[in-house]
Structure 1
Amino acid sequence: MRDVLERVADGDLSPAAAEAELRGYATTDDGRFDAAREQRRGVPEAVLADEKTPEEVATLAAAAVETTGRALVTRASDAAATAVRERLAADHPEADVTVHDRSGFVVAHAPGFDAPDVPATVAVVSGGTGDAAAAEEAAVVAREMGATVDTVHDVGVASIARVLDARETLDDADALVVAAGREGALPTVVAGLVSAPVVGLPVSTGYGHGGEGEAALSGMLQSCTVLSVVNVDAGFVAGAQAALVARRVGAARDGNT
């Protein structure tokens, strides 16, 4: 503790960063940021932009960069993404900011951020273009957790040949996220082809009876092949779960189990 206080007194550590080291989280006017989550759980904390003002999102993103060297913001509107850019340009002008437009996922890295590196691969597969936003969210978080990510898009079961054409990529993955809307059949099909764990990601595409992802979720839960299932549109959770599996695989590959 004395070392932390001395670094604050010397100007080498901000109060927020000091609080994060001592308590594991940083307190802002707009909420608390769990700076120790990645060390504790293996999954980085992310700022969910839904139901927050752009200013609140920007404040929490700045706290994330200040305390961990990285900010992950999910479901950001254009206004929230702009607010994050402007706040980081003012507070952390050397931070690198990337906005993934389809999913609204914003990633910021401070200079010198030490990204994790996992010697394992996650394949993120989507049934159709309408599933791409949830799939992108899964791919970004898996990549931020250190996994190599291969993406396979638009291989819905309406033309099963498209899935079979991607067989080599599917077989090479150490874990897979498979996103599908409508009746949600694609994860069941893929899980019947590969030996690696599959995380089914139901997507709120489709209409009529069982629309908004309900049929996709029910279909995956009733799968006759072995797979895990997350909530509708829960791309972050699916990608993080697959990356945790990949991390274990990578550790075993390196002999660090």
Structure 2
Amino acid sequence: MNVVEEIEYASLDIRREFRAGIPEVILGEVKTPSQVVEIASVFLKSEGRAIVTKVSEEHLKAIREAFSEGCELDVNERARLVVVRRRGFEKPSLGRKIGVMTGGTADIAIAEEARVMAEEMGCQVITAYDVGIAGFHRHLQPLRKMLEEGVDAIVVVAGMEGALPSVVASLVDIPVIGVPSPTGYGFGGKGMGALIGMLQSCSPGLCVVNINNGIGAGAFAALIARRVAEALKAVGGGK
């Protein structure tokens, strides 16, 4: 069984999802439109799906032209993300849920990356956007809903001082994944203040990914949900 597909400029890990449970993601930002299309074609052939992040208008145009027939395209303009699926491809379904929250509306693009990634890995996702600590009460009701719905993990995206993930982690008994966003300016701007604040958190149960890494956060949350689903299946449990 081939695990790597070699093309002129890339060695493609076409069996990553089978091995690690996480589908390969194509970073469009540093690639030409033709490279993105060629790489996506390989994954469509081998896996039935291609996920492309950080796409430009030129990337999107090339993708639409190349995959207009026999494929379904999900375009998330806020996240600059495209999922191309071969017609008839079925996403996995774990029967589990995660939550995704943001401090502000400026953080939504990163949160949408996390949401899409978790959904592509089989999770249902409950979102709550613009619930940061500047209006401290705003996150309480959405957080209560997530807990009532039985989420297995919560991704929290925040910029500026990055306090929201620590607050959420102090209130729940499930893993929280903090994602620093580059919202902010001056000293500690471009996400550095948020990253440092999250890393220095005194709230146990909080892990932190790098600035802007919505994809990594969504994948991590989905892996947690997958293990919960597998454990419940092993003991014959339900929701």
Structures share a fold, TM > 0.5? yes
Select the residue among 44, 59, 71 that pairs with 2:38.
59
Distance 2:43 2:145 in 1: 34
Q: Is the partner of 1:166 in helix, strand or coil? A: helix
Residue number in structure 2 paired with 1:101: 77
1:60-139 matches, within 5 Å, as: 60-89=39-68, 93-139=69-115
Select the residue among 188, 195, 213 that pairs with 2:191.
213
Q: Deviations over 1:197-235 (max 9, x none)?
A: 000000000111100000000000011112000000001
Distance 2:81 2:222 in 1: 17
Distance 2:188 2:86 in 1: 44
Distance 1:110 1:63 in 2: 12
The size of the alignment, in residue pairs, is 233
1:125-204 matches, within 5 Å, as: 125-171=101-147, 172-204=150-182
Rg comparison, structure with higher value: 1
**% identity of equivalent residues:** 44
Structure 1 unaligned segments of length 5 or more: list them: 1-21
158-167 vs 168-177, which moves further: 168-177
Residue number in structure 1 paired with 2:24: 45
Q: Is the partner of 2:114 in helix, strand or coil? A: helix
Distance 1:35 1:209 in 2: 42
Residue number in structure 1 paired with 2:211: 232
8 Å Cα contact 1:184-1:215 kept in structure 2: yes
Q: Deviations over 1:115-173 (max 9, x none)?
A: 11112111010110100011000000000000111111000000111011213223231
Higher helix fraction (1 or 2): 1
Distance 2:123 2:98 in 1: 6
210-219 vs 30-39, which moves further: 30-39
Distance 1:165 1:245 in 2: 24
Q: Deviations over 1:25-67 (max 9, x none)?
A: 2223342321100011111001001211111111111111111
Distance 2:160 2:44 in 1: 38
Distance 1:44 1:256 in 2: 27
Distance 1:145 1:107 in 2: 12
Equivalent residue letter for 1:33: L
1:24 aligns with 2:30: no
Distance 2:235 2:10 in 1: 37
Distance 2:25 2:143 in 1: 33
Distance 1:166 1:52 in 2: 38
8 Å Cα contact 1:97-1:108 kept in structure 2: yes
Report the aligned-residue RMSD. 1.3
Distance 1:97 1:62 in 2: 13
User: What's the CA shift for 1:190?
Assistant: 0.5
8 Å Cα contact 1:30-1:59 kept in structure 2: no
Distance 1:42 1:233 in 2: 22
Structure 1 stretches (4+) deviating beyond 3 angstroms?
Answer: none
8 Å Cα contact 1:26-1:67 kept in structure 2: no
Equivalent residue letter for 2:30: E
Distance 1:167 1:65 in 2: 37
Q: Is the partner of 2:60 in helix, strand or coil? A: helix
User: What's the CA shift for 1:256?
Assistant: 6.2
